[in-house]
Amino acid sequence: MSGGYRVDLGRMGSLITTLEQAKERMTNANNALKNSSPSDMGSRDIDSAGGEFQDRWEFGIGKIAEFSGTVAEGLSKAKQVYAEMEQSVIDALGQGQSEQPAPPPAAAPQARQSEIGDRLGGQKA
């Protein structure tokens, strides 16, 4: 990527929270459905359709909850890595500013080669 990218750790944390809540809500909905009985609906056809729906619903919602939890875990780990990398860069830049390199020892004047050569050699033209 030519422009790079930026990670907003606060927003990433909000997304993780939302996914964790989605997992919890889906799990609660599945549990509520398990506790109800399709036979409570009335006729045998409705009971049968309700039972089939309940099976499909439980499977699908279970997979959504599982996926939401897996994504939330992965994002939590990624967020931690980004935060650690950001702190490492901050620490490295902070050290670079506080630790100035010692000036090179004074050398005997040399014959001037070129302005570029002088600058590469640490001399000002």
Which domain does 29 fall in, by range? Answer: 9-104
Instruction: Look at residue 106 in the predicted model and tell me its pLDDT.
Output: 56
Query: Does 2 reside within a domain?
Result: no
| Contact (Cβ atoms closer than 8 angstroms) between residue 82 and residue 9 | yes
Query: Does 84 reside within a domain?
Result: yes
With b meaning 16 or more CB within 10 Å and e meaning fewer, what string describes 30-51? beeeeeeebeeeeeeeeeeebe
Give the confidence band of 1 by pLDDT, cuts at 50, 70, 90: very low
Query: Does 20 reside within a domain?
Result: yes
Instruction: Look at residue 18 in the predicted model and tell me its pLDDT.
Output: 93
Query: Does 47 reside within a domain?
Result: yes
Helices and strands, counts by H and E, the chain = 3, 0
**Which residue reads 């359709």 in tokens?**
49
Query: Does 112 reside within a domain?
Result: no
Instruction: Look at residue 84 in the predicted model and tell me its pLDDT.
Output: 92
pLDDT tens figures, 14-72:
999 999 999 999 888 888 877 776 566 667 777 777 777 777 888 888 888 899 999 99
Query: Does 62 reside within a domain?
Result: yes
Query: Does 3 reside within a domain?
Result: no
Query: Does 122 reside within a domain?
Result: no
pLDDT tens figures, 92-110:
888 765 555 555 555 555 5
Tally of structural domains, the chain = 1
Tell me the pLDDT of the chain averaged across its residues. Answer: 77
Model pTM? 0.55
Cα(111)–Cα(114) distance, integer angstroms: 9
